[in-house]
Amino acid sequence: MKPRDLTDLALRNLRESILRNALTTLGVAVGVASLVAMISIGVGLQELASKRLSQSGLFDTIVVTAKNNFRGPGGPPRSEANKDAGKPPRVLDEDARHDIEKLPNVIEVYPQVRFFTEVRFNNKPFATVVAGMPDSSKNSGSFDGMVGNFFSSSTANEAILQIEFAKDLSPNNTSSLVGQELVLRYAERQALPAPTENAAPASPGGSPGGGFSVVPRELRLKIVGVVETEPAQGFGGYGNARLLMPLLTASTLRAAQVTDLRDIVRDSNANKTTYASLSVRAKSPSQIDALETSIKAMGFGAFSLLDASKSLRTFFTVFDLLLLIFGSLALAVATLGIVNTLVMAILERRREIGVLKALGAADSDVQQLFFVEAGVMGFFGGIFGVLFGWLIGRALTFGTNVYLKRQSLSSIEVTSVPWWLILFAILFAILVSLVAGLYPASRAAKLNPVDALRYE
C-alpha cells in the first residue's frame, strides 16, 4: 500500500475509536510532558548557572602576572623557576599587553587597576577600594538591573557604587545618590629623576629604578549608578571593590598601587607604567587552555579556572541524565498504554484484518498499518507533551518568581525549552510508540486470514 493510503487508513482507524485512542495519546503526552519538564529544568538551571558564571568572567578569563621570584598563583613550579633564576623576569607593561593582545582568540586585555583610598561625600570620609571597569563589562550582564546608567564614556569622571558602599553614604535612600558628586582622594605616583651614574652600583637584575614620590590628589566624580551585584567579581577581579570607575579614567590617575613598592627595586624606569596583573578575555572557555599555554611561553604567569568549568559541565550532564531517566519513567508507562490499545485493536479488528488479507493485503501492509497508528499516536502525544511540558515549565518559573519576589529578589528563568528539546521529545515519542507498536503490529501481520474471517 502507498504511504498516503496507509496514513489515510490509519487515521480513519484512530478516529473510529476516538476516545480510547485519545486517552492513549494523552498518556503519551503526559509521559513526554514529564520528560520535557524534567529536562527543561535541567537545561534552565544549567543556562542560569552558565549565565551567572559567564557574567562573572570566571571561565573565559586568564589572569596574567609577571613571573615572581617566589611561588604564587600562576607561578611556575619550583624546579622550573630555578631554571630561569638567572634571567630577569619579564615586566608586565604596555608592550607585554600589546603582545598578548596579538595572540589568537583574545577578545581584550585590560589591566587591573585597583587601589585602596578615601572618598569624601558630604565632607565625611569613607574608606574603600576603587576599581577600574573596562567598557566590555557593560555588556556582560553584571550591571543588569542597576539603578542609574553605565558610564557615559570610557574617560568620564563618573562612578558607580556598589550598594553596600552606597548604604554607607546614604543609609536611607541609595538611589538618591545618582546624580550627586563625591570626591576621590588618592595618591598619585610621580617619577623622580634618574640617579647619576655615581650614585649607585648596577644591580644584577638591571639598573635600579629612579623611584617615585607620592602626591595627594583629588578628583570629583559624578555618581551615575548604584549596582546590587558585585560586577566582575571574578577571581583576581574586582571582588570587594565598592567604587567602580571607567578603566581609562582610573589608569590615567596613576594612583599608587600595592605593587609599586616591588617595582621600585625591579624596574629601571619608574615613569613607565607596569601592571600588577592583566586580565585576558578569550572568545570562549574552550580556548583558555591553548591561550594559557601561549601566555606562559611568553614568560608570564597565567591562571584560569577552566577545570572548575569542566567539573560544572560534567555535573550538569549527569544531572540531565538523571532527569531524563526519571522523566522517561512516565513515558515507559505510556508505552504500555500503546501496547494495550493496539492489542485491543487487533482483537476488535480481527475480522477486518482477515478481510484486508482476503482482498490482497500483504503481511507487511497490515504490519505497517499498525505501525503508522502507533506512530501517529506518538506524534500527537509528542506535540501535546511538549506543549504540556512547556506549560509545566512556565508554571514552575511563575511560582519560583512569585516566591523570589516575596523575598525581594530579582526574577529568574528556572526552565528552558530549547528547539532541540522540542525536536528530541517529538522524535523520542514517535520512536517509543513505534517500539511499543512492534509486538502488536507483528501479531496482527501473522494473523491467519482464514481464522480471522471466521472470528465473530
Partner 1 sequence: MSNAEPAIQLDHISRHYTMGETSVRAVDDLSLSVPANEFLALLGSSGSGKSTLLNLIAGLDRPTFGAILANGQNIAALSSLDLARYRCNTIGMIFQSFHLLPRMTLEENVELPLRLAEINRADRPARVREALERVRLTHRLGHRPTELSGGEQQRVAIARALVNRPKILLADEPTGNLDSATGESILTLLRGLQRTMGMTIIMVTHERPLAERYADRLAIMGDGKLLSTSAATKEQFQ
Contact pick of 37, 276, 356, 441 for partner 1 (by CB under 8 A):
356
Contact pick of 47, 101, 228, 352 for partner 1 (by CB under 8 A):
352
Judged by CB under 8 A, the stretch of 63-71, 150-158, 254-262, 362-370 that binds partner 1 is: 362-370
Interaction of residue 1 with partner 1, rule CB under 8 A: yes
Residue 354 CB, nearest distance to partner 1 (Å)?
8
Residue 309 CB, nearest distance to partner 1 (Å)?
58
| C-beta of 291 vs 372, nearer to partner 1 | 372
Q: State the DSSP string of 340-402.
A: HHHHHHHHHTHHHHHHHHHTT--HHHHHHHHHHHHHHHHHHHHHHHHHHHHHHHHHHHHHHHH
State the cell numbers at 88.
630577569
Interaction of residue 355 with partner 1, rule CB under 8 A: yes
Interaction of residue 2 with partner 1, rule CB under 8 A: yes
Judged by CB under 8 A, the stretch of 19-27, 72-80, 216-224, 355-363 that binds partner 1 is: 355-363
Interaction of residue 351 with partner 1, rule CB under 8 A: yes
Interaction of residue 453 with partner 1, rule CB under 8 A: yes
Residue 429 CB, nearest distance to partner 1 (Å)?
27
Whose cell is 610621580? That residue is 190
Q: How many residues of this chain bind partner 1 (CB under 8 A)?
A: 25
Q: Which of residues 13-32 bind partner 1 (CB under 8 A)?
A: 13, 16
Task: Please list the residues that pair with 158 across neighbouring strands.
Answer: 222
Q: How far is CA 337 from CA 36, 282, 331, in A?
A: 19, 52, 10
Strands 158-162 and 212-227: parallel
Phi, psi for residue 3 in degrees, rounded to 5: -55, -40
| C-beta of 254 vs 349, nearer to partner 1 | 349
Q: How long is the chain?
A: 456
With residue 426 as reference, give the H or E element that holds it.
helix 419-445
Contact pick of 298, 322, 362, 427 for partner 1 (by CB under 8 A):
362
Contact pick of 361, 372, 377, 444 for partner 1 (by CB under 8 A):
361
Task: Please list the residues that pair with 222 across neighbouring strands.
Answer: 158, 181
Going by C-alpha positions, the residue among 125, 240, 253 that lies closest to residue 186 is: 253
Interaction of residue 9 with partner 1, rule CB under 8 A: yes
| C-beta of 14 vs 250, nearer to partner 1 | 14
| C-beta of 296 vs 349, nearer to partner 1 | 349
Longest dimension (CA), the chain: 122
C-alpha angle 51/318/421, rounded to 5°? 65
Judged by CB under 8 A, the stretch of 4-12, 56-64, 176-184, 203-211 that binds partner 1 is: 4-12
Residue 12 CB, nearest distance to partner 1 (Å)?
7
Reported in sequence order, the residue ranges of 134-266 that DSSP labels E, i.e. its strands, are 147-148, 158-162, 181-191, 212-227, 243-246
Interaction of residue 354 with partner 1, rule CB under 8 A: yes
The Cα 194–Cα 443 span in angstroms is: 98
Cα 148 to its chain centre, rounded Å, is: 26
Contact pick of 78, 199, 359, 406 for partner 1 (by CB under 8 A):
359
Strands 300-303 and 61-66: antiparallel
Q: For binding to partner 1 (CB under 8 A), which residues are involved?
A: 1-2, 4-5, 9, 12-13, 16, 351-352, 354-365, 449-450, 453
